[in-house]
């Protein structure tokens, strides 16, 4: 599954804010320096979905707030179900 994400770095908590059109908004505590926010985003998404971090990767947007994530072996239906139940 490919997921569009907009991150808001330097937030007080790691939190999924919700969807704006087809983009998931996520607050991340880490700063964007030295890919800290990217690593924290991968950790947070994997933990939220109860999957291994190795199944989540950034395929575009490494230096941007707008990113595309690849989540292996996970469907959009499964993702929506997990996010709604949180």
User: pTM score, two decimals?
Assistant: 0.92
Please report, rounded to a whole number, the percentage of residues in the chain having pLDDT higher than 90: 79
* Whole-number pLDDT of residue 59: 97
Residue pair 30/19 in contact by the 8 Å Cβ criterion: no
User: What does the domain layout of the chain look like in residue ranges?
Assistant: 2-75
What are the residues facing 58 on neighbouring strands? Answer: 69
Q: What is the pLDDT of residues 23-56, one digit of tens each?
A: 999 999 999 999 999 999 999 999 999 999 999 9
* Whole-number pLDDT of residue 86: 65
CATH number at 2-75:
3.30.1200.10
Please report, rounded to a whole number, the percentage of residues in the chain having pLDDT higher than 70: 99
Q: Would residue 34 be called left, alpha or beta, if left means φ above 0 and alpha means ψ between -120 and 50 degrees?
A: left
């Amino acid at each position: 599954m490919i997921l569009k994400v907009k991150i808001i770095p330097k937030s007080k908590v790691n939190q999924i804010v919700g969807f704006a059109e087809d983009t998931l908004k996520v607050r991340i505590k880490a700063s964007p320096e030295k890919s800290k926010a990217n690593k924290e985003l991968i950790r947070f998404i994997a933990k939220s979905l109860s999957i291994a971090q190795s199944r989540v990767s950034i395929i575009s947007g490494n230096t941007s707030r707008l990113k595309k994530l690849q989540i292996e072996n996970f469907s959009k239906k499964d993702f929506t179900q997990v996010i709604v139940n949180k």
